[in-house]
Amino acid sequence: MDYNIYTMKKTNRPIKEKTTLFAFLPEDGEIHLQYAKQLKNEEPMSFEETGTSIASIGDVFERMMSDFRRMTVEEHLGFPDFPDADTLTASEIERELFEVLDMLEDHNILIDTNADYPDEDLYRFITGELMQEEMEVYNIKDMYCHFIYEEFHEKEETDTMETVNELFKILFSNDWRFLNSCLSDLFSVDGRSYTQQSRRLLQESINSEFGTREIKSIESTFLVLNHSKAILSVDLCLEINGTGLERKIDNIYLTLKEQKGKFKVVEISGLLPYGT
């Protein structure tokens, strides 16, 4: 899975190579010479002149990997103070996010994301959760520590996808009685509100619009994801029972909010025409 290196989208610095958690950007030989210089405090010869064997490079590599300090991100940055997001306007948060991403990059830390998230979500994540995360700091130039945003929100992502998959399964199985397990008390579809008492009408609207169909596939993309809220874009592929014919519905947007320990859908748009 490819991840966006988010800091590269927020600054004008040259884009670095995409990597996983840690990356050595120079060639192995260059790393060997660089680290040899650090150990001996002298200017080494070129890699070709030294005639260093692959085995000795491996030995030095092991020494490089054992020479590290474990500390929190906050400690590595020097215990910086960040303005509280609740006291900032949207434009101020954007400016502060630029600055904190620059600070992270200056300390060889990059933030990877699998989607685009609001500046406020990323700012709160970096200045809150990330500061307490432990990392290994190596004294090696061009070695970067990558933190993947989604890995800190696996529970929210899993809970959200379970709700979304369950909701569409119920909607297209003609069993409206279980809709309340997925839906918030205040819930709307394309501008029309459905109370708990009127959700059978939602099922009837689905049947009227799509007939008897089964879900063939669901593809979801997170647009917002944090501890209290999620917004997704969903593409559905439906199959007419017994015919093999398909109908695709792209760009359905769902908003979910955390309620009593579970994410529930509060709004859907793009599923039904207005007035259906």
- Residue pLDDT, tens place only, 106-135: 998 999 887 777 888 899 999 998 998 888
Confidence of residue 172 (pLDDT cuts 50, 70, 90): confident
**Residue 59, pLDDT score:** 63
Instruction: Provide the 3-class DSSP secondary structure of residue 24.
Output: strand
Q: How far apart are CA 139 and CA 39, in angstroms?
A: 11
The model's pLDDT over 153-163, given as tens digits with 9 standing for 90+, comes to: 777 888 898 89
Task: Work out the angle at residue 186's Cα, subtended by the Cα atoms of residues 190 and 117, and round it to the nearest 5 degrees.
Answer: 65
Domain chopping of the chain, boundaries: 4-141, 154-269
- State yes or no: pLDDT of 61 exceeds 80: no
DSSP 8-state symbol, 14: P
Indicate the helix (H) or strand (E) that contains 225: strand 213-225
Residues of the chain with pLDDT > 70, as a percent, come to 73
Q: What is the pTM of this model?
A: 0.54
In the beta sheet, which residues pair with residue 220?
Answer: 234
Residues whose CB falls within 8 Å of the CB of residue 107, separated by 6 or more in sequence, listed in order: 76, 77
Please state, as a whole number, how many other Cβ atoms lie within 10 Å of the Cβ of residue 87: 8
Give the DSSP letter of residue 226.
S
| 56 — pLDDT class (breaks 50, 70, 90) | low
Of 96 and 149, the one with more pLDDT: 96
pLDDT grade for 4, boundaries at 50, 70 and 90: very low
CA contacts within 13 A on the Cβ side of 103 = 19
CA 275 to mean position of chain CA atoms? 35
Cα 56 from chain centroid? 39
pLDDT at residue 167 greater than cutoff 80: yes
Q: Could you give the CA distance from residue 32 to residue 54 in angstroms, rounded to a whole number? A: 10
Tell me the per-residue pLDDT of 12-48, one tens digit each, with 9 for 90 and over.
333 334 333 333 333 444 444 554 555 444 454 444 5
pLDDT in tens, 247-268: 899 999 999 998 877 899 999 9
* Percent of all residues in the chain with a pLDDT value above 90, rounded to a whole number: 30
DSSP state of 142: T
Strand-pairing partners, residue 257, are 229, 264
pLDDT of 227 over the 90 cut: no
* CATH class in words for 154-269: alpha beta
Rounded Cα–Cα distance for residues 204 and 158 (Å): 29
Name the band, by pLDDT with cuts 50, 70 and 90, for residue 60. Answer: low
